[in-house]
Amino acid sequence: MIDRRKLLLGGAALALSGCKILDSARDRDSALRRLFASHEGLTQSAQRALIGNRLAPEFIEADIRQGQRPNGSTDPVSASYRRMAETGFQDYRLTVTGLVDQPQSLSLADLTALPSRTQITRHDCVEGWSCIAKWQGVPLGTVLTLAQPKLTARYAVFHCYDAIERGLAGEVFYYESIDLIDAYHAQTILAYAMNGAALPVANGAPLRLRVERQLGYKMAKYVHTIELTDSLAALGQGHGSYWADRGYEWYAGI
């Protein structure tokens, strides 16, 4: 696997020539280090200019008029999920894997021990209904920082417990993905609580994604694994999500 830093290092070494260059990269004041820094600054500002740090609207408690309407899968039937649900998700583990330096296996206790964020937001389903609800969870960025994504990582893929379809080729499991800009957005959280109570099974227990600047189908419920990848081509039908594989937009911005 070639990463961006190694590529750059190769290019800079060629441009500056001489074999001492690799050693001098460890020197704080080296020209090479300054080159890395300016390159990364440039990439970041270009990304900010394009996407921005816009927040989704947030609401107050009085705006919560009804419970969050369950949609899609509401009761996964797999034996492993059922066993976990019956014991209050004590055995649940969130796996963080793929292009990361520090793969993680986190229990619900581990996740709830991390600093949390609470937000009251509106969920817009592509079918034409909306619900305002209060979500509490750990920022996805915090979990990713623990896992230390490699420089080649571009997407976070969410693998879910629910088989949403049973075809001739077997069960098709729900999955979704977002890019790392949305992944590190302040309102992108892994929610374990909703409207002041533990997340109900119907809404994705024990852990579901909230990515507030996009439509409801992006908000994967029943997440068991987050995989960091540099491409979406090898997953499902290659469009990055169960619904994108069926013709919906992968980037479902609202």
Ligand X SMILES: Nc1nc2c(c(=O)[nH]1)N[C@H]1C(S)=C(S)[C@@H](COP(=O)(O)O)O[C@H]1N2
d(CA 146, CA 132): 30
- Return the ∠ at Cα 232 (arms to 228 and 233), rounded to 5°: 140
Using CB under 5 A as the binding rule, whether residue 125 contacts Mo ion is answered as yes
Using CB under 6 A as the binding rule, whether residue 141 contacts ligand X is answered as no
Element (H, E) at 173: strand 170-179
Q: Give the nearest distance from C-beta 32 to ligand X in angstroms.
A: 45
Q: Is 16 helix (H, G, I), strand (E, B) or coil?
A: helix
Side-chain half-sphere exposure of 177, counting CA atoms within 13 A:
24
Question: Applying CB under 6 A, which of residues 137, 216, 236, 240 lies at the interface with ligand X?
Answer: 216
Residue number, 32 or 211, with CB nearest to ligand X: 211
**Within 189-218, which residues bind Mo ion (CB under 5 A)?**
216-217
Residue number, 91 or 127, with CB nearest to ligand X: 127
d(CA 92, CA 250): 28
Q: Give the nearest distance from C-beta 47 to Mo ion in angstroms.
A: 28
Contact residues for ligand X, defined by CB under 6 A: 68-73, 125, 160, 162, 164, 174, 203-204, 216-217, 219-222
Q: Which residues bind Mo ion (CB under 5 A)?
A: 125, 216-217
